[in-house]
């Protein structure tokens, strides 16, 4: 199975900061990488698919990049609503593995 490793596990930042989360795959997944946002007690929400395609309705301050085995999610200017946990997911294979998550906390 393809393993997904996110870093950091926790990120402390302030409103207005630019933050980047990294996701690495144990083997090449081309561009088949998604990013989700999850808030406590809620289902995950799809933000980005195909590594860099922003879903409809997602603010443009979110962006994704990468291919192969290294990917990043960047939030250009943090807003209060962005403090949540973020997960990457590969969907290159039938087993759609997730990264372990990055909790974005208010500094």
Partner 1 sequence: QVQLVESGGDVVQPGGSLRLSCAASGFTFSGYGMHWVRQAPGKGLEWVVFIRYDGSDKYYADSVKGRFNISRDNSNNTLSLQMNSLRAEDTAVYFCAKEGSSRQPFDFWGQGTLVTVSS
Contacting positions for partner 1 (CB under 8 A): 1, 32, 34, 36, 38, 42-46, 49-50, 55, 87, 89, 91, 94-101
- 28: nearest Cα among 48, 2, 52, 10: 2
Q: What is the smallest separation between the CB atom of 44 and partner 1, expressed in angstroms?
A: 6
- The pair of structure tokens assigned to 19 is 């933050």
- 82: nearest Cα among 51, 60, 97: 60
Nearer to partner 1, 5 or 77 (CB): 5
Q: What is the smallest separation between the CB atom of 43 and partner 1, expressed in angstroms?
A: 4
């Amino acid at each position: 199975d393809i393993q997904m490793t996110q870093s950091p596990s926790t990120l402390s930042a302030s409103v207005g900061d630019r933050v980047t989360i990294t996701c690495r795959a144990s083997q090449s997944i081309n561009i088949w990488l998604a990013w989700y946002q999850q808030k406590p007690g809620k289902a995950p929400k799809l933000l980005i698919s195909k590594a860099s395609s922003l879903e409809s309705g997602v603010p443009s301050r979110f962006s994704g990049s990468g291919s192969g085995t290294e990917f990043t999610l960047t939030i250009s200017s943090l807003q209060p609503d962005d403090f949540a946990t973020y997960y990457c997911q590969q969907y290159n294979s039938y087993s759609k593995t997730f990264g372990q998550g990055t909790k974005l906390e208010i500094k």
